[in-house]
């Protein structure tokens, strides 16, 4: 392995060599695999978690459950889950161990944030809506979900960051995705390739985060609110998933 | 089935594995705890000055930088640190320190903000200087926020140490990695289970520590809203 000062030109060399990008093991292929894995599992996780969370939040049950799932989840190493699933009978079914692991780790932030978002909608607003004759489905769709939007998006952001990171790790038990560039580099003692793979992963993770911040701003139903209202919300006076210390969302889990 | 039978049959749960490899398991646990513990301690050492700087000059840049670091997947983080440290435990510890900063700095800042201004005024009125105010008044009051951060950072560090297996310094992660390569189910499951137990134990220990060092908060425990 080369020392740190030789790495930067070597990194540039790797990134500017066309053959590293094309072909079956090329970077483009790995990026495509990464995106397919990420979007499939994110879609599945949203389909499972969001309706369940919205309904539970609407009827006001299961809060302790949602939060406990997140807390327990944090103690379980993602790497261990990936390897366990790969060694289980599921391991013979291609990408499924990876996808299931990704879904498992995307569900808690989605569930907790959406649940708390719907649950913590101002009670007076809900009462007013009821007084106007709204009930059940209408109340959820017209009042609770729009007000819970910022928190639901926070959950989706955590889930995406989590999924992009976990998809990297899937390379260790031999799955696809960008992590493969890193693990292949380790195998051949090619520091430049290891660092190039890492740089690509980091850029993809940051890009995903950036896209979601933009998406949540564009689609925020409260976008047309006054500046003062938005400042109030940003200052954390609105519904929040903050823990007892008021510091960190309860669903927070370091993306692997 | 005899005791050695479960090794031959490659069962998930195998007492014989635990008995015959107990020193290997113990070494892995020691390495695991060493890496996770030292990274949280180092994280605290770095987080304090950062939080103080954030309080003085604004939290934006510090929070922004630590949040960006948090987003980088651990495999990539360890790989990016490879040219700096070569293959060593330093890679894993440094990566975990950088991750723990996000939680610790955020919680420290929130803790400082939660100290009521009247309390500061009262302390100043009693003749407290800036250092006495920090150590005697603010620090005890932000302990609950800090401990919440330390708990999250510790549990995350224990879970993430496993990824250090990529450079051979992953504690129990090394066993999970070799178990994966040799298709050795008992090794993978045992190491994973110990990992979860370690994380839960550490969390409980820290909870107990918090109970011990914040005696004043016990009296109003019943009133606090915990979410």
User: Which CATH number goes with the domain that contains B158?
Assistant: 1.10.3720.10
Unique residue bearing structure tokens 């939007």: A149
Give the residue from chain A lying closest to B189, CA to CA: A84
SS3 A249: strand
Residue B8 placed within a domain: no
Residue B220 lies in a domain: no
Q: Do A201 and B82 touch (CB under 8 A)?
A: no
- Please name the member of B68, B111, B163 whose beta carbon is closest to the beta carbon of A247: B111
Q: Residue B54's beta-bridge partner residues?
A: none
| pLDDT at residue B8 in the model | 78
Question: Which candidate from B68, B199, B225 shows the least CB-CB separation from A75?
Answer: B199
pLDDT of res. A250: 43
Q: CB of A157 within 8 A of CB of A151? A: no
Which are the contacts of B79, defined by CB distance < 8 A and separation ≥ 6? A182, A185, A186, A194, A195, A197, A198, B166
- What pLDDT shows up at residue B191? 92
Residue B218 lies in a domain: no
**ipTM over cut 0.90:** no
Task: For residue B204, list chain A residues with Cβ-Cβ distance below 8 A.
Answer: none
Between residues A5 and B46, the one the model is more confident about = B46
Residue B120 lies in a domain: yes
Q: Is residue B226 part of a domain?
A: no
Q: Indicate whether A66 pLDDT > 90.
A: no
**Distance of alpha carbon A75 from alpha carbon A78, whole angstroms:** 9
pLDDT at B195 (0 to 100): 94
- The pLDDT confidence band at residue A255, using thresholds 50, 70 and 90, is low
Which B residues in the span 165-224 are in contact with A, Cβ-Cβ below 8 Å? 165-166, 173, 176-177, 179-180, 183, 185, 188-189, 191-192, 195-196, 199-200, 203, 224
A104-161 residue pLDDT tens = 888 888 888 888 888 878 778 888 888 888 877 888 878 888 888 888 888 888 888 8
Stronger pLDDT, A67 or B90, i.e. the higher one: B90
Residue B225, in any domain of the structure: no
pLDDT at residue A244 in the model: 37
User: Residues 83..142 of B with a Cβ closer than 8 Å to A: which?
Assistant: 83-84, 86-87, 99, 102-103, 106-107, 109-111, 114
Which member of A80, A173, A206 has the closest CB to residue B162? Answer: A80
Domain that holds residue B19: 15-213
pLDDT in tens, B32-61: 999 999 999 999 999 999 999 988 888 788
Q: Does residue A41 register a pLDDT over 80?
A: yes
Residues in contact with B176: Cβ distance below 8 Å, sequence separation at least 6, in sequence order: A77, A79, A80, A83, B162, B165, B170, B187, B188, B191, B192
Q: Is B79 domain-assigned? A: yes
Q: Which of A119, A150, A141 is nearest to A212 (CA)?
A: A150
Distances (CA, A) of A35 to A97, A188, B80: 16, 26, 22
**Does B224 reside within a domain?**
no
* Mean pLDDT score, B182-192: 89
Query: What is the tally of structural domains in chain B?
Result: 1
CA distance B125 to chain A (A): 27
Least CB–CB distance from A86: residue in B83, B180, B199? B180
Q: Taking all residues of chain A, what is their mean pLDDT, rounded to a whole number?
A: 79
State the pLDDT confidence band at A238, using cuts at 50, 70 and 90: very low
């Amino acid at each position: 392995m080369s020392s740190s000062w030789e790495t930067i030109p070597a990194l540039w060399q790797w990134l500017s060599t066309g053959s590293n990008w094309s072909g079956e093991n090329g970077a483009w292929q790995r990026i495509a695999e990464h995106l397919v894995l990420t979007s499939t599992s994110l879609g599945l996780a949203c389909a499972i978690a969001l309706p369940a969370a919205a309904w539970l939040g609407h009827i006001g049950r299961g809060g302790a459950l949602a939060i406990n799932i997140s807390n327990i989840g944090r103690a379980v190493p993602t790497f261990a889950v990936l390897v366990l699933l790969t060694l289980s009978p599921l391991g013979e079914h291609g990408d499924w161990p990876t996808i299931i692991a990704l879904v498992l780790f995307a569900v808690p932030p989605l569930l907790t944030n959406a649940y708390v978002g719907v649950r913590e909608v101002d009670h007076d607003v809900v009462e007013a809506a009821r007084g106007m004759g709204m009930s059940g489905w209408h109340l959820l769709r017209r009042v609770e979900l729009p007000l819970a939007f910022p928190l639901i998006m926070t959950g989706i952001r955590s889930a995406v960051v989590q999924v992009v990171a976990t998809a990297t790790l899937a390379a260790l038990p031999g799955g696809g995705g960008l992590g493969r560039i890193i693990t292949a580099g380790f195998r051949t003692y090619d520091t430049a390739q290891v660092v190039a793979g890492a740089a690509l992963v980091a850029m993809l993770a940051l890009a995903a985060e950036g896209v979601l911040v933009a998406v949540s701003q564009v689609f925020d139903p409260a976008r047309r609110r006054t500046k003062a209202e938005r400042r109030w919300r940003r200052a954390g006076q609105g519904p929040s998933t903050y823990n007892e210390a008021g510091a960190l969302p309860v669903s927070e889990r370091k993306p692997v | 089935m005899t005791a050695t039978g479960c090794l031959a049959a490659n069962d998930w749960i195998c007492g014989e594995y635990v008995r015959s490899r107990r020193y290997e398991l113990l070494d892995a646990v020691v390495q695991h705890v060493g890496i996770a513990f030292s990274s949280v301690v180092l994280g605290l050492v770095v987080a304090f000055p950062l939080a103080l700087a954030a309080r003085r000059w604004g939290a934006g840049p510090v929070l922004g930088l630590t949040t960006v670091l948090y987003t980088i997947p651990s495999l990539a983080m360890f790989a990016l640190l490879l040219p700096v440290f070569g293959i060593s435990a330093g890679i894993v510890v440094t990566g975990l320190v950088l991750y723990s900063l996000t939680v610790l700095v955020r919680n420290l800042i929130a803790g400082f903000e939660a100290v009521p201004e009247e309390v500061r005024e009262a302390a100043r009125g009693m003749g407290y200087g800036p250092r006495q105010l920090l150590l005697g008044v603010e620090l005890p009051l932000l302990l609950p926020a800090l401990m919440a951060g330390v708990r999250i950072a510790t549990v995350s560090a224990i879970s993430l140490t496993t990824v250090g297996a990529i450079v051979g310094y992953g504690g129990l992660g090394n066993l999970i990695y070799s178990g994966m390569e040799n298709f050795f189910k008992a090794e993978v499951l045992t190491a994973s289970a110990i990992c979860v137990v370690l994380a839960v134990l550490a969390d409980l220990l820290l909870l107990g520590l918090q109970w011990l060092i914040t005696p004043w908060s016990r009296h109003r425990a019943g009133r606090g809203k915990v979410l």
